[in-house]
């Protein structure tokens, strides 16, 4: 078993890389760029790609390696929508803006597929996703959700599944019903992220790994400092998400950093896989502290579902996930767990993503709240549009109000822990 909760170096994703980048040496000395992007996850790589394609001179500074953060560790589910229900957006911005945001979230999924095709990214993209009820309350909520999305958003890609029809997708007695979504799917997140970086390099963007940004001095141009170098840039994009806590004081408290843990089993036989997810869908259950899984192309079960707020893996993590897998799928009784790793998610107070500016020429997108695989790609495209002078679509998101987590740095974590215990309790009812 390989444990990589503190480093991305040994996750199953790192052991199955199929995309090679041009070298990304640490920054040394002073360079100038039109745009300096800080952070090379999906947000940063997509921003760099879309800007470089528009002819901007782009320098990307990454503290570790490309894909080191959540983008290279995630469950790989690409889903329309946000980390919160659309009603949160309706209440804040009204139905019309909520519809715009919903349609852009669908665009985010299409963009992901388009980028994979256009740049020939080998990342195992597959379609089909189940949102599964665990208890009767969820069955009612999913019915309402399907109805609301059709009525208010004219969204028809959600289909009801229960009984034998559900077992054609997932072979377990654990779920009384599910919504099957044709416009959602899954992929290998690290190969996807590296593929975006490779495409950005080919379009002219320059990437520097192991170049942690220590400060951003605002101005025109802005100065972005690393231990051995600096970039002066007309614009700066901060794409550090959960990993960039102390970089911009003005963003402090707008997201909560929360660790998520995943495992990968040993590869299954074709017969076993057909008795787990015969149609190769991804699945999330409807609990607030949710479990989610999918199959890799070599038929490993990639399963996520434990969280912690102090950066340490929860005690008994592996045994708990192991027990869940065996209860869901008795056919996996003897399957071995080959890998375990963790990664950090940035959660906002209302679970809607947080896009905005800290100065006229310093932009950020963060806080996807566990729902960023597709949306981060669109965020990069929207920031590129904005820098090129078309900010209307970015500003629809930037209008979303966000509260800071109360309590300052010391109290924030205990408060979130309390809230999570409440929701865990609620999940049991």
Ligand X SMILES: Cc1cc2nc3c(=O)[nH]c(=O)nc-3n(C[C@H](O)[C@H](O)[C@H](O)COP(=O)(O)OP(=O)(O)OC[C@H]3O[C@@H](n4cnc5c(N)ncnc54)[C@H](O)[C@@H]3O)c2cc1C
**Binding-site ranges for ligand X (CB under 6 A):** 38-44, 61-64, 68-71, 73-77, 79, 212-213, 239-244, 247, 260, 262, 292, 304, 343-345, 368, 370-373, 376
Q: Is 315 exposed, middle or buried (0-12, 13-18, 19+ CB in 10 A)?
A: exposed
When the beta carbons of 155 and 192 are compared against ligand X, the nearer one is 192
Contact 32/233 with Cβ under 8 angstroms?
A: yes
When the beta carbons of 68 and 329 are compared against ligand X, the nearer one is 68
Tell the smallest beta-carbon distance from residue 93 to ligand X (Å). Answer: 21
When the beta carbons of 71 and 265 are compared against ligand X, the nearer one is 71
Exposure string (b/e) for 193-212, b if CB count within 10 Å is 16 or more? bbbbbbbbbebebbbbbbbb
Tell the smallest beta-carbon distance from residue 367 to ligand X (Å). Answer: 8
Q: Which residues contact 344 (CB under 8 A, 6 or more apart)?
A: 69, 70, 241, 242, 243, 257, 258, 259, 260
When the beta carbons of 352 and 373 are compared against ligand X, the nearer one is 373
Tell the smallest beta-carbon distance from residue 40 to ligand X (Å). Answer: 5
CA distance 323 to 349: 32
Contact 2/10 with Cβ under 8 angstroms?
A: yes
Tell the smallest beta-carbon distance from residue 142 to ligand X (Å). Answer: 19
Residue 295: which of 346, 335, 260, 327 has the closest Cα? Answer: 335
When the beta carbons of 64 and 139 are compared against ligand X, the nearer one is 64
Contact 138/286 with Cβ under 8 angstroms?
A: yes
Q: What are phi and psi of 383, to 5 degrees?
A: -70, -35
When the beta carbons of 180 and 292 are compared against ligand X, the nearer one is 292
Tell the smallest beta-carbon distance from residue 408 to ligand X (Å). Answer: 21
Tell the smallest beta-carbon distance from residue 75 to ligand X (Å). Answer: 3
When the beta carbons of 139 and 239 are compared against ligand X, the nearer one is 239
Q: Which residues contact 119 (CB under 8 A, 6 or more apart)?
A: 195, 196, 198, 199, 202
When the beta carbons of 44 and 356 are compared against ligand X, the nearer one is 44
When the beta carbons of 13 and 139 are compared against ligand X, the nearer one is 13
Tell the smallest beta-carbon distance from residue 429 to ligand X (Å). Answer: 25
Tell the smallest beta-carbon distance from residue 414 to ligand X (Å). Answer: 21
Residue listed under structure tokens 């408290």: 253
Tell the smallest beta-carbon distance from residue 34 to ligand X (Å). Answer: 18
Tell the smallest beta-carbon distance from residue 273 to ligand X (Å). Answer: 19
When the beta carbons of 74 and 235 are compared against ligand X, the nearer one is 74
Tell the smallest beta-carbon distance from residue 135 to ligand X (Å). Answer: 22
When the beta carbons of 139 and 282 are compared against ligand X, the nearer one is 282
């Amino acid at each position: 078993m390989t444990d990589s909760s503190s480093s991305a170096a040994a996750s199953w994703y790192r052991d199955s890389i199929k995309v090679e980048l041009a070298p990304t040496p640490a920054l040394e000395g002073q360079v100038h760029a039109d745009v300096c992007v800080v952070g090379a996850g999906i947000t940063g790589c997509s921003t760099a790609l879309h800007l470089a394609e528009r002819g901007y001179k782009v320098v990307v500074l990454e503290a570790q390696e490309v894909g080191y953060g959540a983008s290279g560790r995630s469950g790989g589910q690409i889903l329309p929508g946000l980390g919160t229900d659309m009603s949160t957006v309706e209440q804040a911005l009204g139905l019309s803006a909520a519809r715009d945001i919903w349609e852009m979230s669908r665009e985010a999924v299409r963009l992901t597929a388009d980028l994979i095709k256009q740049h020939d990214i080998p990342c195992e993209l597959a379609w089909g996703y189940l949102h599964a009820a665990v208890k009767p309350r969820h069955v009612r909520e999913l019915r309402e959700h399907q109805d609301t999305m059709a009525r208010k958003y004219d969204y028809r890609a959600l289909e009801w599944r229960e009984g034998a029809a559900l077992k054609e997708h997932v072979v377990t007695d654990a779920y009384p019903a599910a919504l099957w979504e044709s416009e959602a799917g899954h992929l290998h997140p690290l190969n996807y992220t590296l593929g975006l970086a490779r495409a950005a390099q080919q379009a002219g963007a320059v990437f520097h790994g192991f170049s942690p940004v220590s400060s951003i001095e605002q101005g025109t141009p802005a100065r972005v400092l690393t231990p051995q170098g600096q970039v002066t840039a007309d614009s700066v994009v901060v794409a550090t998400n959960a990993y960039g806590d102390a970089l911009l004081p003005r963003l402090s408290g707008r997201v909560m950093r929360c660790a998520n843990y995943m495992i990968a089993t040993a590869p299954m036989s074709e017969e076993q896989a057909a008795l787990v997810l015969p149609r190769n869908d991804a699945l999330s259950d409807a609990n607030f502290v949710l479990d989610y899984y999918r199959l890799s192309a070599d038929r490993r079960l990639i399963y996520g579902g434990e969280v912690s707020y102090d950066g340490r893996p929860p005690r008994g993590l592996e045994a708990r996930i192991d027990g869940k897998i065996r209860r869901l799928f008795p056919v996996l009784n003897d399957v071995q767990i080959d890998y375990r790793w963790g990664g950090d998610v940035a959660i906002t107070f209302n679970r809607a993503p947080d896009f905005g500016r800290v100065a006229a020429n310093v932009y950020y997108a963060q806080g996807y709240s566990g729902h960023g695989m597709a949306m981060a790609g669109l965020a990069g495209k929207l920031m590129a549009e904005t820098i090129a002078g078309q900010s209307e679509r970015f500003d629809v998101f930037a209008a979303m109000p966000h509260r800071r987590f109360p309590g300052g740095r010391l109290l924030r974590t205990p408060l979130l822990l309390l809230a999570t215990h409440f929701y865990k309790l609620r999940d049991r009812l």
